[in-house]
Amino acid sequence: MRLTTEEEAMLAGKEGPAAAKAMEILFALGEIYGAEQLVPVVSVQVAGVSYGNLGQAGLDFLCEWADQGARVVVPATLNPAGMDLKAWQEMGIPEDYARRQLEIIGAYQAMGVTINCSCTPYLAGNVPEFGQHVAWSESSAVSYANSVLGARTNREGGPSALAAAITGRTPAYGLHLERNRQAGLVVEVNCRLTSAADYSALGYIVGQTAKDRVPYFRFNSGPQPGLDELKALGAAMAASGAVALYHVEGVTPEARSRDVLAGGAAIVAIESAEEGYRALDGTSQAVDLVWIGCPHASLAEIEHAADQLHGRHLEAELWVTTAREVLDAATARGLTSRIEACGGRVVADACLIGAPLGEMGIGAVATNSSKAAFYLRNHSHLQVRFGTLAQCIEAALKGKWPV
């Protein structure tokens, strides 16, 4: 890999030890993955925020890097934390957890990262344009940036994303190069999908099939997916597989701007999304908590939840997780108070993966996201129900899964 004079100087420590370490990380990754050069990035999304995932090791490292003088030079936003940074007490978060979580946030703040904790930065002001290079972590956001916005990013880990923010650069390999953005798998969807959960279930199936291929969807039945459906589809494929880019014929920008189908692409036909529900839906009758907002809910999705509640009183907990900016918009439109009046909660900043749910007495969770279901089952060892928003709201009203 070739570095410019300026990059060489940074590697040699001319801009301090923190920038040198960042450049060392990017140089090593560029060598490993065969990049020829670094490219400038317009924004960064940093993963590795919740204390539950990062642990003490990650906290120590972030503090040391910040103390060495690490500062970001391009706009950088954060992944969700393990709690609402303001209303964590109301959530029932243990104090010790909260203290460490706030230390992590403090380290990022010292580096100049925007404290906007969300897995949907594109709904909260960090919106790259078509063709721009970015360095994002958080697999669902990576998928959205590449596929729905047409920006270009690999799936970064926390430290490599932060290194990109400190240097303003990322090694040009993988999805930064047009030749790696061709689709190798055509997915003919022949059934009619009617909810974001249906797209999430479909994504779970396709993510497992796609392996390292870029999927190219044709929705042959019914309406084309909107932004919320694309968000659900991409998040699911990035969780069940390693899909960081997909195209939808006639819908996503790259598929509309050039021929993205590689010669000899394989074809699969999907006749039903049922298999995706079956793979993740558990058997627990009782539901303690209903979680909407994985990835973080859009304003439209919050409104949808409020409409379905219809002012009725909830038996189970209902949490709608979202970006702080979207929460503020929902509050301004009266949606937050409508959900709270029923006994539900709209939570900013947080992801429930990495939140101390066990310590909070939660045993069974229902969700309309296959990604949430997948991680709750595998990492948090909770009982999980996976269904549509309508089923989830019904479960929140009754405290048990609808038959």
Q: List interacting residues with another protein (CB under 8 A).
A: 21, 24-25, 28-29, 31-32, 47-48, 53-58, 60-61, 137, 157-160
CB of 379 to another protein, least distance (A): 10
* Contact status, residue 294 vs residue 351, Cβ threshold 8 Å: yes
CB atoms within 10 A of CB 337: 12
Residue 313: DSSP 8-state: P
Rounded-to-integer distance, Cα 322 and Cα 12, Å: 41
Crossing angle (nearest 10°) for helices 17-32 and 158-167? 120
Q: Based on CB atoms, which residue is closest to another protein, 55 or 334?
A: 55
Closest to 85 measured CA to CA, from 107, 105, 57: 105
Q: Based on CB atoms, which residue is closest to another protein, 57 or 403?
A: 57
Q: Based on CB atoms, which residue is closest to another protein, 28 or 390?
A: 28
Structure tokens at 343: 């006994």
Q: Based on CB atoms, which residue is closest to another protein, 137 or 167?
A: 137
Q: Based on CB atoms, which residue is closest to another protein, 52 or 234?
A: 52
Closest to 165 measured CA to CA, from 52, 48, 84, 4: 48
CB of 81 to another protein, least distance (A): 15
CB atoms within 10 A of CB 334: 11
CB of 266 to another protein, least distance (A): 26
E-state strands within 179-229 = 183-189, 215-219
* Contact status, residue 268 vs residue 345, Cβ threshold 8 Å: no
Q: Based on CB atoms, which residue is closest to another protein, 79 or 298?
A: 79
Whole-Å CA distances, 386 to 120, 252, 275, 290, 369: 21, 27, 12, 10, 7
CB of 299 to another protein, least distance (A): 31
* Contact status, residue 170 vs residue 137, Cβ threshold 8 Å: no
CB of 106 to another protein, least distance (A): 17
* Contact status, residue 120 vs residue 231, Cβ threshold 8 Å: yes
Rounded-to-integer distance, Cα 4 and Cα 26, Å: 13
Rounded-to-integer distance, Cα 353 and Cα 257, Å: 37
Q: Based on CB atoms, which residue is closest to another protein, 59 or 273?
A: 59
Q: Based on CB atoms, which residue is closest to another protein, 51 or 216?
A: 51
Q: Based on CB atoms, which residue is closest to another protein, 118 or 137?
A: 137
CB of 159 to another protein, least distance (A): 5
- Relative to beta strand 76-78, strand 169-171 is unpaired
Residue with tokens 């703040």: 109
Closest to 78 measured CA to CA, from 41, 40, 39, 109: 109
CB of 33 to another protein, least distance (A): 8
CB of 29 to another protein, least distance (A): 6
CB of 370 to another protein, least distance (A): 20
CB of 156 to another protein, least distance (A): 8
Q: Based on CB atoms, which residue is closest to another protein, 135 or 197?
A: 135
Instruction: Return the amino acid letter for 171.
Output: P
* Contact status, residue 163 vs residue 62, Cβ threshold 8 Å: no
